[in-house]
Amino acid sequence: MSALLEVRDVTRRFGGVVANKDVSLTVRQGEIAGLIGPNGSGKTTLFGCITGTHAVDGGDILFEGRSIAHLRPAPIARLGLLRTWQQTRVYGEMTCAENMAISAREAQGGLLSLLGSVPASTRTRAGDLLAFVGLHEKRADKAGSLSFGQQKLLEFAMALMNEPKLLLLDEPTAGINPTLINGLIDRLRRANAELGVTLLVIEHNMRVIMNLAHRITCLAHGEVLAEGSPDEVRADARVLDAYLGVA
Amino acid sequence: MSRITDWHIMGALALAGIAGPLLLPGLATQIAFLWLMVVFALTWDMLGGRMGYNSFGNIVFFGIGCYAAAVVQRDAGLPYFEGLALGLLVGAAAAVLAAIVFGAAMLGIRGHYFAIGTLGLGIAAGEIAAGWDYVGAGSGMALPLYPGELGSRELFFCYSLFALAALCFLVFRWLYGTRFGLALNAIRDDHDKADAMGLRTTPIKIFAWSLSAFFLALSGGLAANMIGFIDPRDVAFAGATFGVWMVLMAILGGKGTLWGPVLGAFVFHITQELFWTYLLGWQRVALGLLIVVIVVFFPQGIMGWWAARRARAVS
Closest listed residue to residue B290, CA positions, set B270, B261, B307:
B270
Phi and psi torsions of A28, nearest 5°:
-90, 150
ipTM: 0.90
Quote the minimal CA–CA distance from A229 to chain B in Å.
30
- H or E element that contains B113: helix B111-130
Given a contact cutoff of 8 angstroms between Cβ atoms, the answer to whether A163 and A105 are in contact is yes
Model confidence at A1: pLDDT above 60:
no
- Confidence bin at A79 (pLDDT 50/70/90): very high
Quote the minimal CA–CA distance from B109 to chain A in Å.
17
Given a contact cutoff of 8 angstroms between Cβ atoms, the answer to whether A97 and A45 are in contact is no
Chain segment B102-120, per-residue pLDDT in tens: 999 999 888 889 999 999 9
Arithmetic mean of pLDDT, B170-195: 95
The pTM assigned to this predicted structure is: 0.91
Chain mean pLDDT for chain A = 91
Q: CA end-to-end span of chain B, whole Å?
A: 22
Chain segment B259-311, per-residue pLDDT in tens: 999 999 999 999 888 888 888 788 788 878 887 887 888 888 888 888 888 87
Domains and CATH numbers, chain B: 27-314 (1.10.3470)
Q: What is the reported pLDDT for A247?
A: 52
Chain segment B8-29, per-residue pLDDT in tens: 888 889 888 888 888 888 888 8
pLDDT > 90: percent of chain A: 68
* Residues of chain B neighbouring A91 (CB-CB closer than 8 A): 185-186, 189-190, 193-194
Contacts of B199 (CB under 8 A, 6+ apart): A74, A102, A107, A108, B183, B186, B187
Given a contact cutoff of 8 angstroms between Cβ atoms, the answer to whether B95 and B64 are in contact is yes
Closest listed residue to residue B195, CA positions, set A184, A193, A52:
A52
> CA-CA distance, B33 to B20, in Å (whole number)?
13
Q: Which residues of A touch B (CB under 8 A)?
A: 51, 53, 72-75, 77-78, 82-83, 89-94, 98, 101-103, 106-111, 113-118, 158, 162
Per-residue b or e along B268-301, where b marks 16 or more CB atoms closer than 10 Å to that residue's CB = bbeebeebeeeeeeebeebbeebbeebeeebebb
SS3 A60: strand
Arithmetic mean of pLDDT, B51-64: 94
**C-alpha triplet B36, B41, B47: angle, nearest 5°:** 135
R_g of chain A, CA atoms, integer Å = 18
Arithmetic mean of pLDDT, A219-224: 90
Chain mean pLDDT for chain B = 90
> CA-CA distance, A214 to B39, in Å (whole number)?
59
Arithmetic mean of pLDDT, B50-68: 94
